[in-house]
């Protein structure tokens, strides 16, 4: 559904700026692309801030708000990658941002729902925030692993792409762990038990296990099988996407996480 | 035995164990919380968990021998969490009516009780706790009605459920406390939760509101939380180690 509101306007502005970033970079105008990219970040932050002011609670209650937060988290993480790994991921991140914002702009509704008692907790922001940043990092790790898919890449490039992907995935893994543990502690405080066998818990644990498998595999085999490494990171991302979409939206997985 | 654990904790096997656990976790997402929980409470699954915990502890010790503190903490943390869960499950199996681990009481304003019940209608007797609770007042507070509520002609959503109770422990002066959602009360090893509420009527047919408080005691909890701390510290150290590997300098190459 198209949103004819200030919120919608901010989302569409961000979307346009993200797409413009990718287009300008494709056209060879690097500095203009960086300008668009930074402006897109400002628009994404404005969109999250407005949502928070408008609803009167931290904008992390449902998928709509979760996706807005993910889009705002992209730019700083992208800057960090350039500083840390010497890899320019502006274009990939801008495309990722557009993919993330598309459902927020055109699929999810923007109804305001006040916080039920179960969500009124100091752990609300840390638990959801860890997952926002963690999922973004894991998506970026998969994108960074793309060069590993190519046949006949030179060894130095493979090493660089592998290092960047692994480091990004490691940060994502820390955030995933933090989100899972904080969620568990919150579950104990709110629902009475730290593990409820809730479908979303099980899928989140499965995602965590997939990345644990990747790290063991990488430790065992090094970069001898670059394609498998890339495939594992994409498989992990598939779990993230399923956890975010299918598990949240399907009635098959009704459980304790039914706030969204 | 040693050979078995050596095989199980070999790095190549370990990735497969992780993926297998991921698959198992996905499989347990389908039957729903109650059936998955009941499945994992079976003796066989407790045994599998115990083997897994032992293997993880073995991994941790071996990592310590290789001077890999991050890996040691991570695996030991996982082992602690599983051991804590097993301990809690053991407490559930060996609970007595004198010292129950899990039960609820439904109360109306002014009622005094020390008896726990279970089942969908709280009709199965579980046992008694060593202190009494008197419900002073159960309060449901709503958000202010806004325009959207008025347009839809509905009540605004609930902002807070709160049970004001007087706790009387043996050999102690009674005191008043609040039980809210996200704010359980802690008395003599029990967490007391604001779990549910409902409406009923008294003998004269007048409507009455009751609250349901759930009592949970889990002796394995400290071990689980200690495991969480180790696990998180291990993950952090692991990431620090991953970052010590300097990537080759290849500025300006797009991935």
**Alpha-carbon span B111 to B15, nearest angstrom:** 56
User: Is residue B253 assigned to a domain?
Assistant: no
Q: Judge if B8 and B33 occupy the same domain.
A: yes
- Report the candidate in B127, B79, B134 with the shortest Cα–Cα distance to residue B107: B134
pLDDT digits (tens, 9 = 90+) for A56-74: 889 988 889 999 999 999 9
pLDDT digits (tens, 9 = 90+) for A231-246: 999 999 999 999 888 7
Yes or no, beta carbons of A212 and B18 under 8 Å apart: yes
Task: For residue A51, give every residue at least 6 positions away whose Cβ sits within 8 Å of its Cβ, in sequence order, or none.
Answer: A7, A59, A65, A68
Q: Tell whether B148 lies on the interface with A, counting CB pairs under 8 A.
A: yes
Which residues of chain B does A213 touch, with a Cβ-Cβ cutoff of 8 Å?
15-16, 18-19, 22
Query: Nearest 5 degrees, angle CA B223-CA A120-CA B165?
Result: 75
Instruction: Let me know if residue B70 belongs to a domain.
Output: yes
The domain segmentation of chain A, as residue ranges, is 1-109, 118-260
Using an 8 Å CB-CB cutoff, list chain B residues near A114.
Answer: 143, 156-157, 159
Same domain, B161 and B189: yes
Is B186 domain-assigned? yes
Q: Note down pLDDT in tens along chain A; length 260 residues.
A: 788 899 999 999 999 999 999 999 888 898 999 999 999 999 999 999 999 999 988 998 888 999 999 999 999 998 988 888 878 888 889 999 999 999 899 888 888 888 889 888 999 999 999 999 999 999 999 999 988 888 767 888 888 889 999 999 999 999 999 999 999 999 999 999 999 999 999 999 999 999 999 999 999 988 889 999 999 999 999 999 998 887 777 777 777 776 55
Q: Are residues B145 and B237 in the same domain?
A: no
**Which H/E stretch holds residue B232?**
helix B221-244
Please tell me the distance from the alpha carbon of residue B36 to that of residue A118, in angstroms, as a whole number.
Answer: 23
Domain match, B20 and B42 both = yes
Query: Is this prediction's pTM over 0.95?
Result: no
Stretch (H or E) spanning B105 = strand B102-108
d(CA B91, CA B101): 7
Q: Which of residues 2-61 of B touch A (CB under 8 A)?
A: 11-12, 14-16, 18-19, 21-23, 25-26, 28-30, 32-34, 36-37, 40
Q: Do A177 and B235 touch (CB under 8 A)?
A: yes
User: Per residue in B195-240, pLDDT tens?
Assistant: 999 888 888 888 889 999 999 999 999 999 999 999 999 999 999 9
Residue of B nearest to A157 (CA): B250
- How many domains is chain B built from? 2
Q: Considering CB atoms only, which of B36, B243, B249 is closest to A86? A: B249
Domain that holds residue B39: 2-95+219-244
Residue B251 lies in a domain: no
Question: B136 and B74, same structural domain?
Answer: no
Nearest to B228 among A184, A210, A247 (CB): A184
The C-alpha R_g of chain B, in whole angstroms, comes to 25
CATH code of the domain in which B176 resides: 2.60.98
B174 in the same domain as B106: yes
């Amino acid at each position: 559904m198209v949103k004819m509101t200030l919120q919608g306007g901010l989302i569409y502005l961000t979307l346009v700026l993200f797409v413009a970033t990718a287009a300008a970079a494709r056209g060879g105008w690097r500095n203009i692309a960086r300008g668009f990219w930074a402006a897109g970040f400002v628009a994404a932050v404005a969109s999250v801030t407005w949502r928070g002011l408008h609803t009167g609670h931290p904008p992390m209650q449902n998928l709509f708000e979760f996706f807005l937060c993910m889009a705002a988290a992209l730019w700083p993480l992208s800057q960090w990658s350039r500083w840390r790994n010497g890899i320019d991921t502006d274009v990939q991140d801008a495309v990722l941002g557009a993919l993330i914002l598309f459902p927020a702009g055109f699929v999810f509704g923007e109804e305001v729902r006040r916080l039920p008692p179960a969500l009124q907790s100091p752990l609300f922001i840390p638990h959801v925030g860890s997952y926002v940043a963690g999922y973004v990092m894991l998506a970026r790790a998969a994108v960074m692993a793309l060069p590993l898919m190519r046949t006949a890449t030179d060894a130095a490039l493979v090493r660089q792409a592998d290092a960047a992907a692994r480091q990004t995935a490691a940060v994502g893994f820390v955030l995933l762990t933090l989100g899972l543990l904080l969620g568990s502690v919150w579950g104990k405080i709110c629902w009475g038990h730290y593990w409820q066998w809730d479908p979303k818990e099980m899928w989140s644990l499965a995602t965590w296990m997939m990345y644990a498998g990747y790290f063991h595999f990488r430790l065992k085999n090094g970069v001898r099988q670059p394609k498998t490494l890339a495939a594992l990171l994409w498989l992990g991302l598939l779990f993230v996407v399923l956890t975010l979409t299918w598990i949240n939206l399907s009635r098959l997985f009704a459980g304790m996480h039914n706030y969204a | 035995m040693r050979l078995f654990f050596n095989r199980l904790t070999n790095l190549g096997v370990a990735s497969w164990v992780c993926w297998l656990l991921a698959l198992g976790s996905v499989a347990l997402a389908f039957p729903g919380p109650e059936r998955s929980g009941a499945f994992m409470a079976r003796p066989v699954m407790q045994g599998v968990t115990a083997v897994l915990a032992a293997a993880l502890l073995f991994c941790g010790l071996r990592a310590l021998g290789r001077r890999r503190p991050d890996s040691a903490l991570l695996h030991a943390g996982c082992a602690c969490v599983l051991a804590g869960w097993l301990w809690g499950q053991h407490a559930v199996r060996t609970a007595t009516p004198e010292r129950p681990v899990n039960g609820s009481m439904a109360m109306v304003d002014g009622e005094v009780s020390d008896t726990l019940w279970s089942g969908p209608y709280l009709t199965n007797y579980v046992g008694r706790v060593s202190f009494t609770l008197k419900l002073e007042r159960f309060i449901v507070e709503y958000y202010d009605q806004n325009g959207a509520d008025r347009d839809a002609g509905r009540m605004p959503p609930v902002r807070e459920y709160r049970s004001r109770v007087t706790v009387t422990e043996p050999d102690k002066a009674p005191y008043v406390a609040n039980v809210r959602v996200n704010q359980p009360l802690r008395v003599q090893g029990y967490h007391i939760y604001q779990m549910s509420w409902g409406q009923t009527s008294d003998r004269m047919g007048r409507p009455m509101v009751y609250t349901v408080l759930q009592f949970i005691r889990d002796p394995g909890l400290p071990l689980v939380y200690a495991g969480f701390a180790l696990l998180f510290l291990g993950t952090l150290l692991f990431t620090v180690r991953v970052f010590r590997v300097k990537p080759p300098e290849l500025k300006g190459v797009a991935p």
